[in-house]
Amino acid sequence: MSTNKQILRLAVPNIISNLSVPLLSSVDTALVGRLDGIYYLGAIAIGGMIFNFIYMGFGFLRMGTTGLTANAFGGRHHDEMGSILSRAVLTGLLASITLIVLQYFIFSGAMLIVSTSDEVRHFASVYFYIRIWDAPAVLALFAIQGWFLGMQNARYPMYITIFINLLNIALNIFFIYGLGMTVDGVAMGTVIAQYAGLALAIVLFFKKYGSAYIHFKRKSLLALDSMKRFFSVSRDIFIRTLSLIFTYSFFTIQSASLGDEILAINTILLQFWHIMSYGVDGFAYAAESLTGKHLGSGDKKGLRKTVKLLIYWGMGLGVVFSILYYLFDENLLKLFTDNPELIALGLLYFGWTVLAPLVNSFCFMLDGIFIGATVTGPMRDSMLISTFLVFVPVYFLTVGTLGNHALWLSMVVYMFARGVTLLYYLPKRVLTD
């Protein structure tokens, strides 16, 4: 099979499944954006920010599992493949229990750093205290879907993700329009859909792999070298992800401080960033699977060729998104809100949305390559540099004159810095002889 065919075999299912994720977020935004109070949209933004902070922080369960499994797959280490899965699932379940126990402190702490109206705060709490109960399903799915991708199986994550998001959309429409619920309906729909998705993942796992890859023997789970590598990769990705979360949370908090209208329109505009990122991440996920496999099998020539083609594919898709955003700016905004003031406000800042895919696609692809290689130290360092030496200073240096434009400028420059720093590390840490 040619390299391009291998890339597309993994990337296309990932793109399809990934685009269903922002579809859910977009439908939720559109549903809530048409309710009577603008504070419902703000509540979803704040509640979503908290869960992004929580769940993105545990993104190592997906990313680390994919890279480690792909390496084991390339090297044909079957016992280690099973141990990686069991180790990741158990870690996720223990973490989810901790989150549920600490739920009151998590929400209260988040509200200490968010400046918003009483209405937004109230409905954000309603959303949070329902949604927190999906934690066991979400974190277990991180591990299982990451393992599927490492096994070069992109179809099962596609089936699971599409099933979850379509069910979630249907439930949200039913709860809001059928039962007259608001943000509580959105949260409840998410919880039900996540557990249904976990049930489907388990069924698919046993259908294809059976019990051969379930290893709960203490000796294999606690093998010193494997544990050290698992937690080293997890630590670096965790720190990297916390920096990413900080950036998006800072963005949301500063948006809220500029008023409910700016918070609402920035929430809508970020949907376009997410849609683009999930599309390009289809190729980034393929990069994780293929990079890990090539390194595990020792195929350095195939690795170099694959890396080059992956970057071309990812950036090409970014160009397509920029063109579409440029051509359909106002029409796209109308999909999310029928409020003429918000639409007019959105058009003032839409240029940043057009520019973003051209910059973001490059760093997303490099992320996937480094994750697949399990070379996570440079990812951590790149994110820390881009966040605290680029994003934050640019914002504070420009906010006095640019206002809300300073937030968008900071985000674009931050993404550019991520790409540049990772490119610097690429030949030294991944493409070495």
What is the pLDDT of the chain when averaged over all its residues? 88
DSSP readout, 297-346?
A: HT-HHHHHHHHHHHHHHHHHHHHHHHHHHHHSHHHHHHTT---HHHHHHH
What pLDDT shows up at residue 429?
A: 85
Residue with the two structure tokens 């249907």 = 170
Residue 156 has pLDDT above 90, yes or no: yes
Task: Give pLDDT tens digits for 125-149.
Answer: 888 999 999 999 999 999 999 999 9
- Predicted confidence at residue 399, as pLDDT, reads 93
pLDDT digits (tens, 9 = 90+) for 326-346: 999 999 999 888 889 999 999
* CB 232, CB 67: distance < 8 Å: no
User: Which of 12-26, 95-109, 382-396 has the least mean pLDDT?
Assistant: 12-26
Tell me what percent of the residues of the chain surpass a pLDDT of 90: 48
The predicted structure's pLDDT at residue 216: 56
For residues 346 and 271, the answer to whether their CB atoms sit within 8 Å is no
pLDDT in tens, 192-229: 999 999 999 999 999 988 776 666 555 555 666 666 77
Convert the pLDDT of each residue in 33-78 to its tens digit: 667 667 777 788 788 878 877 888 888 889 989 989 998 888 888 7
In this predicted model, what pLDDT tens digit does every residue of 67-124 receive, in sequence order? 899 988 888 887 788 888 888 998 999 999 999 999 999 998 888 877 777 778 888 8
Q: Look at residue 426 and tell me whether its pLDDT is greater than 70.
A: yes
Is a pLDDT exceeding 80 seen at residue 397? yes
- Distances from the Cα of 66 to the Cα of 152, 213, 232, 286, angstroms: 9, 15, 14, 10
Nearest one of 17, 19, 106, 39 to 267, comparing CA atoms:
39
pTM score, whole prediction: 0.84
Q: Are the C-beta atoms of residues 52 and 273 closer than 8 Å to each other?
A: no
CA angle (172, 57, 241) in 5-degree steps: 115
Which pLDDT value is given to residue 248? 87
With a cut of 90, say whether residue 321 has pLDDT above it.
Answer: yes
Both structure tokens of 398: 């420009």
DSSP state, residue 386: I
DSSP 251-289: HHHHHHHT-HHHHHHHHHHHHHHHHHHHHHHHHHHHHHH
Using pLDDT thresholds of 50, 70 and 90, give the confidence band for residue 21: low
Place of tokens 């949907």: 271
Q: Both ends of the chain: CA-CA distance in Å?
A: 24
Mean pLDDT, residues 157-168 taken together: 91
pLDDT at 311 over 80: yes
CB under 8 A, 24+ apart: contacts of 398-402: 399/254
- How wide is the angle at C-alpha 78 spanned by C-alphas 91 and 379, nearest 5°? 50
The span from the CA of 353 to the CA of 344, in Å, is 15
So what's the pLDDT on residue 212?
A: 65
Q: Residue-wise over 203-221: b if at least 16 C-beta within 10 A, else e? A: ebbeeebeeebebeeeebb
